[in-house]
């Protein structure tokens, strides 16, 4: 994979997403479309953006349900042929196995380990006694056993995850340029540091999408890599 930056376009504005995608497409490797966009426009919207912009699509729906339901959802989305799609590792091994089996051959299925908006105290509040680092390691091993392509984890855990899964595909969100606002993210890292730690791709949203000049912001981040 060449340019390893995927830009998170979290908006219900279809034409705004297309306009932004076309503005930055010369400086990034792909676009991530998530729940907000999908809830507004569904599969038709994803197809429209893919056709209008011409970049690989990371479909970030973080599917989490019983195995049959998740497999059926993945199959229903297969016509979009996304480059990457997400499920939750917490759904368990059977759910992950079924999701991978239902996915198109060219789609990487990656499992979300611990959201970058959570820390150890958040995990304890929902009954997870392990710290975020230990939980990411545990779920990374489970995703590997289930036959997935990789996992989503913060830059702080990606080196440990890669030690567990040498050939895995590691998606790192919560990436912020040095001095950038962290927003609702608790475990952030600069793009250069995340890449050096072992990220396969970086997911970057607001530092680019909400910049006064998005393409200049994207160029500046690429320059650090």
- pLDDT tens per residue, range 7-29: 999 899 999 999 999 999 999 99
Q: Which CATH class is domain 5-224?
A: alpha beta
Average pLDDT over residues 116-123: 82
- The mean pLDDT value of the chain amounts to 91
48: left (phi over 0), alpha (psi -120 to 50) or beta: alpha
Residues taking part in catalysis: 62
31: left (phi over 0), alpha (psi -120 to 50) or beta: beta
pLDDT tens, 24-38?
999 999 999 999 999
Which residue in this structure is represented by tokens 């016509």? Answer: 79
Note whether 196 and 159 are within 8 A (CB).
no
pLDDT tens, 162-203?
999 999 999 999 887 765 554 544 556 888 999 999 999 999
More confident: 100 or 129: 100
Instruction: Give the integer Cα–Cα distance in Å for 44 and 164.
Output: 38
pLDDT of residue 124: 85
Give the Cβ contact number of residue 125 at 10 Å: 9
- Is the pLDDT at 1 greater than 70, yes or no? no
Which residue in this structure is represented by tokens 């999908």? Answer: 38
Q: Give me the numbers of helices (H) and strands (E) for the chain, helices first please.
A: 10, 8
Tokens for 133? Answer: 């680092």
Instruction: Give the integer Cα–Cα distance in Å for 191 and 195.
Output: 6
Domain ranges of the chain: 5-224
pLDDT of residue 145: 98
Average pLDDT over residues 52-62: 97
pLDDT of residue 130: 77
Average pLDDT over residues 93-105: 97
- CA atoms in the 13 A half-sphere facing the CB of 203: 28
- Is the pLDDT at 223 greater than 60, yes or no? yes
């Amino acid at each position: 994979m060449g340019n390893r930056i995927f830009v998170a376009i979290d908006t219900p504005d279809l034409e705004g997403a297309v306009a932004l995608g076309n503005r930055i497409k010369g400086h990034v490797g792909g676009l991530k479309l998530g729940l907000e966009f999908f809830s507004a426009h569904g599969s038709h919207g994803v197809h429209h953006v893919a056709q209008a912009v011409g970049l690989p699509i990371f479909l970030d729906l973080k599917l989490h349900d019983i195995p049959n339901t998740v497999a059926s959802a993945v199959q229903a989305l297969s016509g979009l042929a996304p480059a990457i799609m997400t499920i939750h590792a917490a759904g368990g091994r059977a759910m992950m196995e079924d999701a991978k089996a239902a996915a198109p051959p060219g789609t990487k299925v990656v499992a979300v380990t611990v959201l970058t908006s959570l820390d150890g105290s958040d995990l304890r509040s929902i009954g997870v006694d392990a710290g975020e680092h230990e939980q990411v390691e545990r779920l990374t091993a489970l995703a590997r056993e289930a036959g997935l392509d990789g996992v989503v984890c913060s830059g702080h855990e990606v080196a440990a995850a890669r030690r567990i899964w040498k050939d895995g595909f590691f998606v790192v969100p919560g990436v912020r340029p040095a001095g950038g606002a962290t927003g609702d993210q608790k475990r952030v890292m600069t793009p250069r540091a995340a890449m050096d730690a072992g990220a396969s791709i970086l997911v970057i949203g607001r530092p680019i999408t909400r910049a006064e000049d998005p393409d200049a912001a994207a160029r500046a981040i690429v320059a650090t890599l």
